Amino acid sequence: MEIRLKNLTKVFPGNAKKGIKDTVAVDNLDIVIPDGKLIGLLGPSGCGKSTTLYMIAGLLEPTSGEIWFGDEEVTRLSPDKRGIGLVFQNYALYPHMTIYKNIAFPLTNLRVDDVKKDKNGNPVLDEKGNEIRVKRKLYPEEIDSMVRETAKIVQIENFLERKPAQLSGGQQQRVAIARALVKRPKVLLLDEPLSNLDARLRLQTREEIRRIQTSTGVTTIFVTHDQEEAMSISDEIVVMKLGVKQQRAHPQEVYNNPCNKFVANFLGTPPINFFEGEIKGGKAIINGEEIVDVSAKKLKDQKVTIGIRPEGFEVNSKGTFHINVTSVETLGRDISIIGVHPNSERPTVKCIIDADTNVKPGTIALNVKPHKCFIFDKDTEERIF
Ligand code: ADP
Ligand code: MG
C-alpha cells in the first residue's frame, strides 16, 4: 500500500498567557512511501518523527494536510479502520498473558466481512436469492492459525506458552512485532523499536525486522534517531530537522551527497570535520592551503564552511593540507588519526586511514579526496559544491 503525505502539518498550541509558544512539530511534510518499501524516518530527538507516525496511525489529528493510503484519503479516519500495525519503543506486552494470548489479543475484537451461514454452514439467502453479508468475529480456529502463522514469521513459534518475563528483550520485541503484524496490516509503523535493547540484540533484531519486512512485503516506516540503524535497514531515508524534511534518498546517496550542513553532520561515524574556509579563484582554501579545485562550479570568491569526511584524507608527503596530529588510535583494519587545526569547528579533527600507514604525532601533510569534501554556504548552510 503506497502512503502519501501531502503538506502534513501539526502544531501543538502554546499558551499565550503563560508565554508558551506554539510548537510546529511537523511542518508541511510531503512524502510518498512506495508500496512494499521500508522507509527510515531519521532525525534528532524532538524533530517530529513520532508526531508524523502518530498522524499516519490516526492517533493524532493533523492541523492541516492530507494522508492517503493508496487511493483512499485516511486523514480523519479512526485508527482501527486504517489497517496499520504499530510498535512503540516501550512495547508493553501484557505480563500476565502467555505469548500466544498477547499475539491473539488484537484479533479478539476484529470483525471480518463474511457470508451469513445457517447452523449447517450453508449460505443464508435473501428473498431475491442473493447471499447476505455480515460482519462476524473470527472463529477460534481462524485466530489459532493466524497466531501460529505470524509467530512463525518472527520465529517465536516455540515460545507461545511462555509469559513475556520468560523471554529475552529481543524475543519480546519480536512478540510486539508479531502483535502488530497479526491483523495483516497494510502498513507497519515502528517508533524507535530497538532503543530498549542492548547493542548486540539491537543489531540482530534490526536484521530480523528487515527480514520480516521483506518476507511480508508490508509497507513500513521505521522511526529512529540512530543514523547507522536507519542507513542499514532502509530502502530510502528521510532526514528531518525541526519538523521539516531535509533530504530523502537512498541511504548511500544521502551520505555521499548531503544537501546541507545539517545532513552532512547527522550521518557518519565518526562525524564529518568542518573547517572555516574560503573560495578564491576556483579553489577551496583552508588557512591559506589549497584543498580542492572547485572551478567546475563557477563559484564566486566567498567565505564558506568546508566539510571533509574522516575517510577523505590521504597521508602524502606532497599533500597540501596540514594538521597537527596529537594521537593515533589503532582500530585493526584502519587507524584513526586525531589532530588539531586552527580552522576546525570542533576541538579535534578525525581522519580514518589505512592501518599500513605509519603516522606519528606532529605535523603531517594530507591530500583531500574531492568526492569526500563538501562546501556549504556560510549563512544558509546549503551545499554549494
Ligand atoms: P521525535 O519523535 O522526533 O523525538 P516528537 O514528534 O515527539 O519528536 O516531537 C516533536 C516536537 O513536538 C517536540 O518539540 C515536542 O516537544 C513537541 N510535542 C510532541 N508532543 C507534544 C504534545 N502533546 N504537546 C506539545 N508539544 C508536543
Ligand atoms: Mg519520538
- Judged against a pLDDT cut of 80, whether residue 90 lies above it is answered with no
Mean pLDDT over 95-123 rounds to 92
Tell me the CA–centroid distance for residue 270 and ligand 1, in Å.
28
pLDDT at 30: 97
- Band of residue 92 on the pLDDT scale cut at 50, 70, 90: confident
CB 172 within 8 A of CB 97: no
- With cut-offs at 50, 70 and 90, classify the pLDDT of residue 29: very high
DSSP letter (8 states) at residue 124: P
Residue 329 pLDDT: 93
Contact present, 341 and 349 (Cβ < 8 Å): yes
Give yes or no for a contact between 26 and 8, defined as CB atoms under 8 angstroms apart.
Answer: yes
What proportion of the chain, given as a percentage, has pLDDT over 70? 100
Q: What is the pLDDT of residue 139?
A: 92
Nearest CA to ligand 1 atom 23: 12
Please name the residues in contact with 249: beta carbons below 8 A apart, sequence gap of 6 or more.
236, 237, 257
Percentage of the residues of the chain whose pLDDT score is greater than 90: 82
Judged against a pLDDT cut of 90, whether residue 170 lies above it is answered with no
pLDDT at 165: 95
Grid coordinates given for 41: 524516518
What's the DSSP call for residue 195?
T
- The answer to whether residue 270 scores a pLDDT higher than 90 is yes
pLDDT band, residue 96 (cuts 50/70/90) = very high
* Per-residue confidence (pLDDT) for residue 282, from 0 to 100: 95
Q: Which of 51, 239, 241 to mutate to test the pocket of ligand 1 (most atoms within 8 A of CB)?
A: 51
**Ligand that comes closest to the CA of residue 47:** 1
Q: How far is the CA of 112 from the centre of ligand 1 (A)?
A: 36
Q: Which letter does DSSP use for residue 220 in this model?
A: E
222 contacts 40 by C-beta, under 8 angstroms: yes
pLDDT at residue 91 tops 80: no
- Kindly list the distances between the CA atom of residue 48 and the CA atoms of 15, 178, 190, 239, 261, in Å, as whole numbers in the listed order: 20, 26, 14, 11, 19
Residue with cell 498550541: 13
Q: What pLDDT is attached to residue 281?
A: 95
Q: What confidence tier does 265 reach under pLDDT thresholds 50, 70, 90?
A: very high
Could you tell me which residue, 298 or 273, shows the higher pLDDT? Answer: 273
Give the integer Cα–Cα distance in Å for 308 and 367: 11
**Could you tell me if 347 and 324 are in contact, meaning their C-beta atoms sit under 8 angstroms apart?**
no
Query: Which residues, 6+ apart, have CB-to-CB distance to 14 below 8 Å?
Result: 20, 21, 22, 23
- Ligand 1 geometric centre to CA of 223 (Å): 14
Q: Quote the ligand 1 centre to 194 CA distance (angstroms).
A: 20
Instruction: Ligand 1, residue 60: give the atom nearest the CA.
Output: 23
Q: CB neighbours of 214 closer than 8 A, spacing ≥ 6? A: none
Residues 309, 375 contacting (CB under 8 angstroms): no
The whole model's pTM is what? Answer: 0.91
- 364: confidence class by pLDDT, cuts 50, 70, 90: very high
pLDDT in tens, 173-229: 889 989 998 988 999 999 999 887 888 878 888 888 898 899 899 999 999 999 999
The number of beta carbons lying within 10 Å of the beta carbon of residue 150 is: 25
Which helix (H) or strand (E) is 288 found in, with range?
none
Predicted confidence at residue 217, as pLDDT, reads 94
**Cβ distance 380 to 369 under 8 Å?**
no
Please tell me what DSSP assigns to residue 52: H
What is the average pLDDT value for the chain, to the nearest integer?
A: 94
Residue 372, all three cell numbers? 569526500
308 C-alpha vs ligand 1 centroid, how far in Å? 33
Closest to 27 in 3D by CA, of 59, 53, 58, 65: 65
| Residue list, ligand 1 pocket, CB within 6 Å | 12, 23, 25, 43, 45-51
